[in-house]
């Protein structure tokens, strides 16, 4: 049978370092209260974000199941790479690769590179239009999978 004397020594040393048992109890109560408040705030944030996250998750699962439409809106558009290139993030595009646009905000395009296990990627719309049939003119925004 092993002794737990080492554990008692560690606890006693820690209690001494914080100024005694009374301070240790206050510290433990304050830490527990802070965790309770943080947990409550996190729960409130999750509950508030839930409807939007649920819509987005339903769309993603629909895409994975191979559905092409969700509530009458095309889920994805596929584009084919015509010129080999590498993005600033180190993503390699080879001739014949295909990608799907998941979201776009100004020049930042969130894509899924088909056959790449490290998806998704944020790529410049300008680069995508230069190397593929992705339509982009400065100022245009293409929202293929935008959640309304």
pLDDT tens by residue, 75-90:
457 889 999 998 888 8
Structural domain that includes position 126: 76-131
Question: Is residue 119 left, alpha or beta, with left meaning phi > 0 and alpha meaning psi from -120 to 50?
Answer: beta
Q: Is residue 52 domain-shared with residue 84, that is, in the same domain? A: no
pLDDT tens by residue, 3-19:
667 777 888 888 888 88
Q: Is residue 9 domain-shared with residue 60, that is, in the same domain? A: yes
Q: Which range among 1-15, 16-30, 102-116, 131-145 has the greatest average pLDDT?
A: 16-30
Rounded to two decimals, the pTM is 0.44
In a domain, 138, yes or no: no
pLDDT tens by residue, 85-114:
988 888 889 999 999 888 777 778 888 888
């Amino acid at each position: 049978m092993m002794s737990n004397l080492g554990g008692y020594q560690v606890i006693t040393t820690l209690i001494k370092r914080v100024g005694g048992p009374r301070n240790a109890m206050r510290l433990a109560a304050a830490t527990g209260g802070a965790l309770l408040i943080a947990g409550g705030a996190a729960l409130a944030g999750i509950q508030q974000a839930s409807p939007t996250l649920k819509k987005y998750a339903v769309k993603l699962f629909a895409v994975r199941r191979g559905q092409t439409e969700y509530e009458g809106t095309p889920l994805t558009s596929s584009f084919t790479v015509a010129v080999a290139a590498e993005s600033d993030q180190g993503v390699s595009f080879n001739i014949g690769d295909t990608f799907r646009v998941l979201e776009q905000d100004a020049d930042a395009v969130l894509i899924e590179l088909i056959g790449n296990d490290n998806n998704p990627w944020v790529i410049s719309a300008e680069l995508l239009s230069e190397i593929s049939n992705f339509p982009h003119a400065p100022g245009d925004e293409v929202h293929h999978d935008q959640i309304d």
